[in-house]
A = this chain, B = another copy of it.
Amino acid sequence: MKKFDDIDLKYMKLALGLAANGRGRVSPNPMVGCVIVKNKKIIGSGYHGIFGGPHAEINALKSCKNAAGATMYVNLEPCCHYNKKTSPCVPEIIKSGIKNIVIAMKDPNREVNGRGIKQLKFKGVRCKVGVLKKEAEQLNEVYVKYITKKMPFVILKMAYSLDGKTSSVTGDSKWISSEESRRRVHDLRSEVDAVLVGINTVIRDNPLLTSHGRGKNPARIILDADLKIPLSSNVLNKEAKTVIATSKDSPINKIGKLEKKGIKVLKIPSSKGKINLKKLLASLANMGVSSLLAEGGPTVAESFINNEFVDKIMFFICPKIINGFSKMGDAIAVKNVIINKSGSDVIFEGYPDV
């Protein structure tokens, strides 16, 4: 296995850290950070800060006076293709006189995919590829999925009580998780392109599905095969874009009313009252949704899992026992919780606060 020296690792870590500044802002582009080093000193750095804005390499080159002879660290292969918002980075890097370039991972985009590296090498720029590759791939896991599969990267978020319930027997789910966790979910919403829930969640909880002021709002996707959504639902407000996925037989009349409110209604093939998720995900990808946070209840979770559409899970386990109680307020808190690992498991020990 190829080894990389500590200096490579150090500057690539910095580049990855810079890249992460673009989280929630550059989608569906990848997050990219760039550090330029000459005579053991950082002479320039930059990151891709906003979709449509200049790439990390360009920002970094602009930030230093003279990059000739320097080494560039960047977490993704520089681009060389033209059919996009900005001109390609490779020619600019060559022009700058950069002598060495250290790259974490090739760009899986078929338009690049090694061609950027080839062009750099051809012009005499020495390339080292693969430094912190795994970390780079994880940072851009959404981009990698989206650009290679033309499907959104799906994060399934669930909140469970310690005894594995998502709500009380009457459907009361406010709140299982702690305030901190709910804020974490709001942050997460600001980082994804879209959130998705089933119609039952809309009817029962009437959520906003926004980031509650913690960043940009994602588009809201509602699974609603029978178009049961009440016109007064919070998700139909103007705070964020909303898309309703419904069956092809849904009444034109109601569709019209929704469209008048500015809601996009997607007619998706459905069977037995269930939207064909694969077709929906493909449509969403076409609309530019590269990341989707599925936040529904157990039914939505089950369909996503059954169909192997879940790329990542984010499960909140909350120290409450809901048991067969009807109200969330009756749930038993567990106090003095101690959490230990046991092989791959986690043990929660504590005392029911009765």
Contacts and interface: CB of A to CB of B under 8 A. Distances in A.
Interface of A: 158-166, 177-181, 184, 298, 301-302, 305-306, 308, 310-319, 321, 323-324, 332, 334, 337, 339, 341-352, 354
Contacts of A181: 342-343, 345, 347
Nearest to A159: B345
A218 to B, nearest CB: 19
A317 B160 CA distance: 11
B351 A311 contact: yes
Q: Report copies per complex.
A: 2
A323 B178 CA distance: 25
B349 A313 contact: yes
The 7 closest A-B pairs by CB, nearest first: A164-B164, A178-B343, A180-B343, A181-B342, A315-B348, A308-B354, A318-B345
Contacts of A347: 181, 184, 314-317
Contacts of A161: 164
A313 B321 contact: yes
Contacts of A318: 344-345
Given A162-B313, A313-B334, A334-B313, A346 B350 contact: no
B350 A313 contact: yes
A163 B162 contact: no
Contacts of A317: 162, 317, 345-348
A78 B302 CA distance: 58
Given A166-B164, A349-B313, A344 B319 contact: yes
B306 A323 contact: yes
29 contacts: A159-B345, A160-B162, A161-B164, A162-B317, A163-B298, A163-B301, A163-B305, A164-B164, A164-B166, A178-B344, A180-B343, A181-B342, A184-B347, A302-B324, A305-B321, A305-B323, A312-B350, A312-B352, A314-B347, A316-B345, A316-B346, A317-B345, A317-B347, A317-B348, A318-B344, A318-B345, A319-B344, A319-B345, A337-B344
Contacts of A349: 312-315
Nearest to A177: B345
Contacts of A352: 305, 308, 310-313
Contacts of A346: 316-317, 339, 346, 348
Contacts of A323: 301-302, 305-306
Given A164-B165, A178-B345, 5 more contacts: A160-B164, A163-B164, A163-B305, A164-B164, A313-B349
Contacts of A160: 162-164
